[in-house]
Structure 1
Amino acid sequence: MNPNLLFKLANNAALIGWILLIFLPRWRWSARLIAPVLIPVLLAVLYAFLVITQFEHAPGEFSSLSSVGLLFQNRGMLLAGWVHYLAFDLFVGSWEVRDAQRIGIAHYLVAPCLVLTFVFGPAGWLLYVMIKSVALRTIGIESDDAAQASLS
């Protein structure tokens, strides 16, 4: 299949998930099924297909930065790497929404984290963790019980 078409399809699928998380976070399907499960599963299937069909044809490996650069000179592996980011960032964004809802952080504070997670992955997650830490007056990722106890 055409890598450019797969790129567009993967991007559009991820974009649908992000739109649901940002604009319809309380719709029961957004943060619990479509964005964290359905779309990442589809992206994971595409990722697995690309890795299975392209990895042996790609120069390079994961042992050094230079060899990773060689690996991503193969367009199929470059696309696989991009799909990897799309799937995991969307999964993380879904977690941010569910976690914020569970502990009572207003969505207007989470939405910028989602945009940042969509565009710059770990930086958006870091912003969410900082907002959560301020809201709970503690640092780190806590269990539900600990988070609920801090809000009481």
Structure 2
Amino acid sequence: MNDLFVAVNLLALVGWCFLIFAPKAEITRIALNNMLLPGLLCLIYSAFLITEIFLRAGSGEGGFTSITAVQGLFSAPNGVLLGWTHYLAFDLFVGIWIVERARFQNRWPLILILISCMLFGPLGLLLFLGQQAIMQRVSI
């Protein structure tokens, strides 16, 4: 289980390094803009999900109807790995989306936003959306 955790983290980290250090490079276009790395994370997530569905079928563990039920989803190591891979895939996808839409004259704000997105997901997205709204108002 730990090996899978390390593997999905490394995949995501490689993607984030491409986005942060070489957003316009050919390797970034191949690995990220063509959705190779996010697609691989989604494939791994899907395999975990199917495995968990069959392993937990009828067990009554976990669900989405209450906070207690959601905690049940994360009570097993497989559930934590499933949730973590979900976060990694979606945060990386959002990072790609940000780079594709970013209009910065200076790369430092983009780097800070990407790091925020990598570490704190929705906070990085919020910073980007705020920055874009400000840029749009200034250019009107």
TM over 0.5: yes
Q: Using a 3 Å threshold, how does the CA distance of structure 1 residues 39 and 25 change in structure 2: closer, same or farther?
A: same
Query: Which one scores higher on RCO, CA 8 angstroms, separation ≥ 6?
Result: 2
Runs of 4+ in 1 over 6 A off after TM superposition: none
Q: CA deviation at 1:104?
A: 4.5
- Give 1:105-144 correspondences, 5 Å limit: 105-137=105-137
2:30, 2:65 → 1: CA distance? 36
Structure 2 unaligned runs (5+)?
A: none
- The residue aligned with 2:64 is 62
Aligned residue pair count: 135
Q: Which amino acid aligns with 1:93?
A: G
User: What is the aligned partner in structure 2 of residue 19 from structure 1?
Assistant: 17
State the identity as a percent. Answer: 38
Q: CA RMSD in A?
A: 1.7
Would the aligned equivalents of 1:105 and 1:135 in 2 still touch at CA under 8 Å?
no
After TM superposition, the score normalised by the length of structure 1 is 0.82
Deviation at 1:29, TM superposition (A): 3.6
- CA distance in structure 2 between the aligned counterparts of 1:129 and 1:33, rounded to whole angstroms: 26
| Structure 1, 82-91 or 21-30: larger mean CA deviation | 21-30
Aligned equivalents of 1:65, 1:9: Cα separation in 2: 29
Query: What is the rounded CA distance, in whole Å, between the counterparts of 1:125 and 1:132 in structure 2?
Result: 10
Structure 1 gap segments, 5+ residues each: 139-149
Counterpart secondary structure, 2:26: coil
